[in-house]
Structure 1
Amino acid sequence: MIPVYIVTGFIGSGKSTFINEQLQYRKKLGGTACISAEEGSISLIKEALQLSPDALSAITTNQPGSYNPIADEIATYINKAKPKEVWIEWNGMLSFHQLESLLYSDKLRHMLQIEKVFYICTDQFVVSILPGLGNDVLSQLYSADCIITETDIHYALLRTYNSDAKIVTMPTPEKIAQLCHNSTWGLIPNLLVIGITAYILLVTAFRHDIPYSIHQCFAIVTGLIIEAIPFLLLGTIGSTIIRYFVPQRVLLKLLGNHSWKSYGAAMVSGLALPVCDCAIIPLFKALTDRGVPLSVALLFTLASPIINPITILSTWYAFPDDPMVSIWRITIGLGVALLVALSFRIMPPPISIMKAKTAQNFSYEEIVLEASKSKHLNKRRLLVHMEKEFSQLLFYFSIAACVLSVVQVYGKPWLINAGITLPDVWAIPILLLLAFFFSICSTSDAIIGKSLSTLFPMSSVMGFLILGPMLDIKNVYILKQYMPTSFILRLGITILVISYIAALGYQFFLG
């Protein structure tokens, strides 16, 4: 498969200059093929196959694998040039999915593989032109792996269109070359492999000089990560499948009003939706935008990660000697979620506040899913989404595991030697804060909770297991892309207070 690098952006953004700089820096003119779908003021230094924009605009996205004469033209050009890589300059007014339909056609899908998509834009374009353009232009921005801008002044605005892309400002050709060769599974897994390898080398060379406590920390971190990876993978796979294959109309039918039927459906939907807490937030905003009552959408968002089958399985796995922990986590967690949701039903936020932010890419996301019904398009999208989400979750879990190992190896002996015991009224808020800052995925947080149970009372651990799926740093960051700060503050304080009361109740009645 020949790697394909795609450069998109509005006319005049500098696509040709960008490609020329890369070709000069990489010094691969002889092994490079260029395809252009736009005639700009600057020509490519490598003679390109020029495609007709009028012919390209006639491409439909309904049957990506069907016959296309332009695909035949590209296949003939590729077979003749025999390149090691291909650069495509895509027309700024054509849908990105027309290009995908072309590259995934019968003629090309076994020859070419999309490696990176770059979107180039100017500050003036972002402010004055982009908001008025249609979904065809937005599709290019939404599909980009990397967004290149003049300055970082519009970083937040661009992030609302594409929350996953890497945004860089006036990068050097060397930086772009590095971006072109990012590994498939991202930086975090590679860092883990490097860390493990470095530790093994150090132990081999200096095993008698390394303190035993360092070995303990490494063993705890490694064990926690190995235990959690299956649940992280299950949660990632499940959430990706739900995101791409479950129609929203099914959810709207169940959650469309304030009836107890809707509240009941919101509480138990997580049993059929193996979605982790961070993956559910975009769906929450989509539901509210489409008429689902705020309190019902909130209940769905808060309850689903707790009643998620993978979360239940990981909790049972972490506490095999006490299966009631899983039952009480579900029961208390659903109760907290319901109380939080009802508080927004009884005292709803002002409509003006709720409309302070608009999700500018939701209407387009529906088009993405509709245009991606081909098994070839879905396969690529599923793999890319899974890779990004798994890397992100593994990053947060690894940090939490490292902090916990230090606390367990150094903090626990210190507390014991000092004779310090924390009462529940103090232990509970400490673990609630740890749940927020650890930001562990709900499908694997029980493994950390089990380790914490040797340091803290079970009531505080229960608070940790309840609050974590509802509120943490990564959830706040994702939610901030869609909702105003005042809403997030109220939601966070409400969850914190009710979770604290619930953990105290657990200690009073069951401790």
Structure 2
Amino acid sequence: MKTGIEIVTGFLSSGKTSMINIILGENIDKDKKIVIIQCEMGQKEINEKEINENIIIEKIPKGNSLEEMYIKQIVDKYSPDKIIIEQNGMETIEELLNQLDTKSMRKYTRIERIINIIDCKQFNMLMGILGNNLINKISYSDLIILNHVDGVSDDELEDINKKIGSINKSGLVIEINEHEKFLDYTKNKETNKIWKGTIYDKLSILFLIVASIYLSINLLISIDFSKFNIDFSNIYILNTIFISILMESFPFLILGVFISSIIQIFVTRDMIVKYFPKNKIISFLVAIVGGLFFPVCDCAIVPVVSRLVKKGVPLYAAVTFMLAAPIVNPIVIVSTYYAFPGQPQIMIFRLIIGIIVAIITGILFLIFPEGEMTVKSHELDNLCNCIYCNNINNGDIKGKISTIFKHAGEEFFDVGKFLIIGALLTSFFQVIIPKDIILKLGGDSVTAILLMMSIGFLFSLCSSSDAFIARSFLNQFSLSSIMGFMILGPMIDIKNLIMLSDIFSKRFIIKLTFIICNVTFSAICFFTILYLG
């Protein structure tokens, strides 16, 4: 049986030893042998009441690091049921995990949990001094305990939670007041937190959602309802539409998230910021062309734009870049081409109209500039909103490849759930709503355009796969309204608004949304008059 390992990390005086005392106190089976490896000696000692013949304490001499051979010796010597490692706060968590992740170590041990204790009173100071070291500890943690929350203001605590949420999407965060001394930390502390699960949990849930919907539809199909004189032919149609959309769009979604992840890992934001021109005309051109090479990934575009603005890139150029990137991305171009076989003009129309909308929006921000408070001061301009992008820039090639797959998996779930919901809603929309209503809506150009723009905003689909949803509407709606769906959705939707609200001012978001909606609607109307008569 493998020995379970719990890692308790955090900086000096954060409360690591107190946490270990709680773990020992929760050990119901006192016959289990536990080895505590202390790599850092703080002011607090292991509680003597918890120490017995089955609790062994090993202390690493000051200045020495924990090595694989030492851990093997501990396993061979004591054959423990559990090892608790109190990590030195100044050492990186990656070094320790690399020691535990070797092939030989995995034969005898397994990492059960990583606990990170953070002193709220020192958080901002440590973030400024240690940066990536602290970010790495947070990103790998399963449980994050915010200690001394009564030592900071409510605004500071909210800011800390936002920063931690940006770094780690799956870890459970618990807030502890100083006077509680970690008592009852497991009781009712997580009620105000949302469980987000690991990437493997998320992908399993995504699979179960698709499987449940598919099996439910097919169960209805398999039942003989003829004796009830009920027509269930629409169920067959719904099933066909739903599955066909997913089967056609998933390959492009997977390809899109992988290319997105590769570029996210190997093309740093500093590169973009460094080489982004400040000349007005050239910056517009780079903003459009840059979309050909930058990923569609929502966790990349918005933070990069905020970084560009804070580094001095004109807001109008940054906005143009943000709007053009999801439209001119090569994966989006190819997926749109395949979604409408025999109609390459649709792909060309989408590309041209998207670029025009992005440029006009940027020009409007040039003519009517924003103030200096566009980007919120608490925004983490060096962080991606996904859990894996904070510790890969300095890693080896093996670590970067691993991160690509993890990032792709995380992003696939984030956008995949929207695709499934969108495919299901589209299927119901076309099957349940009477044909005469759809024809009436589709026949009124203005109403149809506004309706499809609204659907694009609400569905929040990834632009690498939304063309397949759009194609399913082609028989009911005009081409111009389909364009409204494919142009507006990637530029501004619900999920983008949520991300923007955490980084940009409300005034900027309202102005941006108003301009995008109006420019898109105007461009589609002009397109209708010019090309469709």
Indicate the TM-score class for this superposition, using the shorter chain for normalisation. 0.7 to 0.9
* Counterpart in the other structure of 2:246: 225
What is the letter of the counterpart of residue 476 of structure 1?
L
| CA 175–328 in structure 1, closer or farther in 2 if over 3 Å, else same | same
* Per-residue deviation, 1:238: 1.1
- Which of 118, 126, 130 pairs up with 2:123? 130
Q: TM-score, normalised by structure 2?
A: 0.79
* Counterpart in the other structure of 1:497: 518
Is contact 2:221–2:235 with CA below 8 Å preserved after alignment?
no
d(CA) in 2 for partners of 1:488, 1:87: 47
- Is residue 388 from structure 1 mapped to residue 419 from structure 2 by the alignment? no
| CA 392–35 in structure 1, closer or farther in 2 if over 3 Å, else same | farther
| CA 279–110 in structure 1, closer or farther in 2 if over 3 Å, else same | farther
Q: Greater CA deviation, 99-108 or 221-230?
A: 99-108
- Is residue 37 from structure 1 mapped to residue 39 from structure 2 by the alignment? yes
- Is residue 185 from structure 1 mapped to residue 203 from structure 2 by the alignment? yes
Task: Output aligned runs, 1:254-403, within 5 Å.
Answer: 254-359=275-380, 362=383, 368-371=391-394, 373-403=395-425
* Counterpart in the other structure of 2:472: 451
What is the letter of the counterpart of residue 282 of structure 1?
P
d(CA) in 1 for partners of 2:477, 2:268: 43
> Deviation string for 1:22-71 (max 9, x for gaps)?
754xx798598765434554457773664538436xx6xxxxxxxxx722
What is the letter of the counterpart of residue 405 of structure 2?
L
- Which of 138, 162, 165 pairs up with 1:162? 165
Task: List alignment gaps of at least 5 residues for structure 1.
Answer: 60-68
Structure 1 residue matching 2:273: 3-state secondary structure:
helix
| CA 2–20 in structure 1, closer or farther in 2 if over 3 Å, else same | closer
* Per-residue deviation, 1:422: 4.5
d(CA) in 2 for partners of 1:28, 1:503: 72
Task: List alignment gaps of at least 5 residues for structure 2.
Answer: 175-184
Structure 2 residue matching 1:160: 3-state secondary structure:
helix
d(CA) in 2 for partners of 1:315, 1:282: 26
* Counterpart in the other structure of 2:182: none
What is the letter of the counterpart of residue 73 of structure 2?
T
d(CA) in 1 for partners of 2:111, 2:253: 27
| CA 201–114 in structure 1, closer or farther in 2 if over 3 Å, else same | farther
What is the letter of the counterpart of residue 63 of structure 2?
A
> Deviation string for 1:245-297 (max 9, x for gaps)?
11434423441313422321220122233434453222222333333332222
d(CA) in 1 for partners of 2:30, 2:473: 55
* Counterpart in the other structure of 2:138: 141
Q: Greater CA deviation, 29-38 or 229-238?
A: 29-38
* Counterpart in the other structure of 2:489: 468
d(CA) in 1 for partners of 2:319, 2:33: 54
* Counterpart in the other structure of 1:16: 20
Structure 2 residue matching 1:55: 3-state secondary structure:
coil
What is the letter of the counterpart of residue 278 of structure 2?
N
* Counterpart in the other structure of 1:64: none
Greater length-normalized contact order (CA 8 Å, ≥ 6 residues apart): 1
Is contact 2:460–2:495 with CA below 8 Å preserved after alignment?
yes
Task: Output aligned runs, 1:425-436, within 5 Å.
Answer: 425-436=446-457
| CA 80–491 in structure 1, closer or farther in 2 if over 3 Å, else same | farther
Q: Greater CA deviation, 43-52 or 153-162?
A: 43-52
* Residues paired across the two proteins, number: 492
What is the letter of the counterpart of residue 70 of structure 2?
E
Structure 2 residue matching 1:368: 3-state secondary structure:
coil
Is contact 2:418–2:460 with CA below 8 Å preserved after alignment?
yes
> Deviation string for 1:127-186 (max 9, x for gaps)?
x32112132334322433453558997456423333223444455599999968963735
Is contact 1:161–1:361 with CA below 8 Å preserved after alignment?
no
| CA 439–421 in structure 1, closer or farther in 2 if over 3 Å, else same | closer
Is contact 1:220–1:405 with CA below 8 Å preserved after alignment?
yes
| CA 367–238 in structure 1, closer or farther in 2 if over 3 Å, else same | closer
d(CA) in 1 for partners of 2:233, 2:3: 50
d(CA) in 1 for partners of 2:456, 2:216: 30
d(CA) in 2 for partners of 1:363, 1:413: 45
| CA 201–449 in structure 1, closer or farther in 2 if over 3 Å, else same | closer
d(CA) in 1 for partners of 2:31, 2:206: 33
| CA 103–467 in structure 1, closer or farther in 2 if over 3 Å, else same | same
Is contact 1:71–1:107 with CA below 8 Å preserved after alignment?
no
d(CA) in 1 for partners of 2:238, 2:31: 50
| CA 408–50 in structure 1, closer or farther in 2 if over 3 Å, else same | farther
- Which of 196, 202, 221 pairs up with 2:214? 196
Q: CA RMSD in A?
A: 3.8
d(CA) in 2 for partners of 1:156, 1:202: 49
* Counterpart in the other structure of 1:248: 269
d(CA) in 2 for partners of 1:431, 1:28: 64
What is the letter of the counterpart of residue 205 of structure 2?
L
Is contact 2:303–2:381 with CA below 8 Å preserved after alignment?
no
- Which of 61, 68, 71 pairs up with 2:68? 71
Structure 1 residue matching 2:67: 3-state secondary structure:
helix
d(CA) in 2 for partners of 1:3, 1:286: 41
* Counterpart in the other structure of 1:63: none
Is contact 1:239–1:276 with CA below 8 Å preserved after alignment?
yes
